[in-house]
Structure 1
Amino acid sequence: MARFTPLEERIDALALAAVAAAERRGAPGWLLEAAVFLAKQLWACLFGVLLLVALVAARLWYPDDAALARNDLLTIVAVLIQLGMLLARLETVGELRVILLFHLAGTVMELFKTAAGSWEYDAQGVLRIAGVPLFSGFMYAAVGSYLVRVHRLFELRFDRYPRRGFMALVAAGVYVNFFTHHVVADVRALLIALVVAAYWPTVMRARVHRRHLELPLLAVLGGAGVAIWVAENIATWAGAWSYPGQQDGWEPVSLAKVGSWFLLLIVSVVLVTWVYPPMPSVEPSEADAAEAAASDQPSVRATSSAHAPAQPMLASVPMMNRSRAAEDSSSEKRPRPLTAMRAAMTSGCPTAIEPTIAARSR
């Protein structure tokens, strides 16, 4: 997984100091975990939040008769936001490639959907392709930016994730159906059934601060679809685009769009898995080591990270990299059998391995 940027490490160090100070003052653990969760979520969706703020600000304060069309202004702002993310190194090169794929796939869909009359944009400005302003592609890129960043910030792991090849085929079917349902049968229900069947056993594990969250992946994707639907309502109110029922005045977007966003998120998740392959919460080597330790010391009981005491050596480690440091620390303390055997053989002390060595020498 990509390392955190220097800017993110500085911000994380400040946040960790604030959390530690709150702990010393006796703040409830659940409240601190909730605060860290919200802070990470906001930081992960930075691109989308800034773009949404720009849409609302343009609606409220940008003059209608300005020389620069509002859609062109929004395109320029979106480009500046993306450049800022790159210059601050808040996105890796691999992540940027996925985000560009989101941008391209979204723009192609916008061109088709606006031509089919699914929604429309205000006909103003010059930074556009056909009837689609260029800032529209950045709205899809904002979703991609959130997904790749939230993966790093929460150190996401997935248990019982389906085969990536199969999910790639499902995602391709979802994307194609967005186009073909205008001319042939809509197989959206079948696609949703396939997604539910594939993701039903999948559990997502996310590290917050001292605790981990374990949630069904389907529930997470459903919640994300609702969140995007809320953002879509804000964007349509701000006049970014309008559906046929909103041309005579704004009204809430139909709840049926939640299903469309859910399916689009499937395409998004599959794209992200090619940058960050889904890893299980416990690696096979870690599981074997834990099993061996349990067999050597049967009286020792495992404790969850939620109840384990804080390790002093981790106090200066950023919260987002703390689990990795803990793994390194535990590996340093793990006994090395070959080293112990060599030490016993050279020390001249009788050991349990001497009879075996003597037998082999005979």
Structure 2
Amino acid sequence: MQTAIPEQSGLLQTFDAMLMRRRADPSLAGIRRFAVEFLLFGIKEARACLFAGLFFVSIFLMPRAGLLGIPRYDLLLIIAVSIQAWMIWAKLETLDELKAICLFHVVGFVLEAFKTSGAIQSWSYPDFAYTKLLGVPLFSGFMYAAVGSYIIQAWRILDIRIEHHPPYWMATLVALAIYLNFFTHHYVGDYRWYLAALAIGLYARATVIFRPYDRDRRMPILLAFILIGFFVWLAENISTFFAVWHYPNQLGAWSTVHLGKWSSWTLLVIMTFTIVASLKHICRTIHIPK
């Protein structure tokens, strides 16, 4: 999957180039080095969240009644498409990255359509929209795409490498099992904890290497999955507070999304990461620039 941004030009592209510039600074040490690296790590994380941040700010600020007679869900779809188009136009994202994000959109929409169907009703979108399909507003797929966009952008901006990645065919099978379990647990047992244990064993030795400033840093990849899942769970709490969608226990009055959803989001993050990592592995295998 091509991730190199050609012909860096413009303010944001120049900013990206500065963030990713390799430089050694041996003068930094102790608490000063920690402060600089921590600050730059935060800036790079915020940049990687550009699509997700703009999209979720739009969700939180959009009046429930919509604007100018246009329903809220329809406006959110227009905004999400506009942000995506702008990122391509501004060369903040490549066409290959867009193709991967569209895949996340499809994966997310299929899951949404199933979970909101009459027989399941795990959650619901209460408001009217012209752009609803099978009862699901089309903007909802972008919430899943936002997670994929973050991983893709962070991979490039933080110069991410994975050490001791498990065999890709095994990671793919686990990711497929995770996705299928979101559907099948309504009819057979919920095997998420078995799948979580399998994922822990699979990624136990895997380490994510990233570069906040001028030195590589390491983190157990399982910790990265858990942290990303936690922040997605927080975003879900805010979204349901603003009544973008409802769980059955939130129909009378808002309440915190069950902590168990954190585990679901962490598993979904593992699945999303597997798609990105596998696409990059395929590109390396056939010698396509990353």
TM-score normalized by structure 1? 0.71
Question: How far off is 1:235 after superposition?
Answer: 1.1
Aligned partner letter, 2:4: R
Secondary structure of 2:165's partner? Answer: coil
- Answer yes or no: is 1:273 the counterpart of 2:286: no
Q: Which has the higher contact order (CA 8 A, sep 6+)?
A: 2
Aligned counterpart, 1:95: 97
Distance 1:16 1:152 in 2: 8
Question: How far off is 1:250 after superposition?
Answer: 1.3
Conserved in 1, the CA contact under 8 Å of 2:122 and 2:247? yes
Aligned partner letter, 1:3: A
Question: How far off is 1:28 after superposition?
Answer: 1.9
Aligned counterpart, 1:69: 71
Conserved in 1, the CA contact under 8 Å of 2:13 and 2:91? no
- Answer yes or no: is 1:171 the counterpart of 2:175: yes
Distance 1:263 1:14 in 2: 33
Secondary structure of 1:250's partner? Answer: coil
Distance 2:36 2:43 in 1: 10
- Deviations along 1:161-195, one digit per CA (max 9) or x if unpaired, are 10001110111111111101111121112111110
Aligned counterpart, 1:110: 112
Q: 1:68 to 1:263 in 2, by over 3 A?
A: same
Question: How far off is 1:86 after superposition?
Answer: 1.2
RMSD across aligned positions (CA): 2.6
Aligned partner letter, 1:243: Y
Which 4+ stretches in 1 moved above 6 angstroms? none
Aligned counterpart, 2:285: none
Count how many residue pairs are aligned between Structure 1 and Structure 2: 274
Aligned counterpart, 1:2: 3
The unaligned stretches of length 5 or more in structure 1 are 279-362
- Answer yes or no: is 1:45 the counterpart of 2:46: no
Question: How far off is 1:150 after superposition?
Answer: 0.5
Distance 1:261 1:16 in 2: 29
Conserved in 2, the CA contact under 8 Å of 1:33 and 1:211? no
Distance 1:16 1:196 in 2: 31
Identity value in percent: 38
Aligned counterpart, 1:210: 214
Question: How far off is 1:131 after superposition?
Answer: 1.1
Of 137, 158, 162 in structure 2, the residue corresponding to residue 158 of structure 1 is 162
Aligned counterpart, 2:84: 82
Q: Tell me which moved more, 198-207 or 3-12.
A: 3-12
Distance 2:65 2:147 in 1: 29
Conserved in 1, the CA contact under 8 Å of 2:230 and 2:262? yes
- Deviations along 1:172-225, one digit per CA (max 9) or x if unpaired, are 111111101111121112111110000011111101102222110001101111
The unaligned stretches of length 5 or more in structure 2 are 283-290
Q: 1:16 to 1:132 in 2, by over 3 A?
A: closer
Distance 2:68 2:253 in 1: 23
Conserved in 1, the CA contact under 8 Å of 2:4 and 2:94? no
Distance 2:214 2:94 in 1: 26
Question: How far off is 1:13 after superposition?
Answer: 5.5
Aligned partner letter, 2:203: Y
Aligned partner letter, 1:153: I
Aligned partner letter, 2:108: G
Aligned partner letter, 1:34: F
Question: How far off is 1:64 after superposition?
Answer: 5.5
- Deviations along 1:1-41, one digit per CA (max 9) or x if unpaired, are 63245155411466699x99xx89xx922211111100100
Q: 1:85 to 1:16 in 2, by over 3 A?
A: closer
Conserved in 2, the CA contact under 8 Å of 1:78 and 1:135? yes
- Answer yes or no: is 1:195 the counterpart of 2:196: no
Conserved in 2, the CA contact under 8 Å of 1:41 and 1:150? yes
Distance 1:66 1:110 in 2: 28
Question: Which structure has the larger Rg over C-alpha atoms?
Answer: 1
Distance 2:4 2:50 in 1: 18
Question: How far off is 1:123 after superposition?
Answer: 3.3
5 Å-filtered alignment, 1:1-362, equals 2-5=3-6, 6=8, 7=10, 8-12=12-16, 28-59=32-63, 63=65, 66-115=68-117, 116-277=120-281
Secondary structure of 2:279's partner? Answer: coil
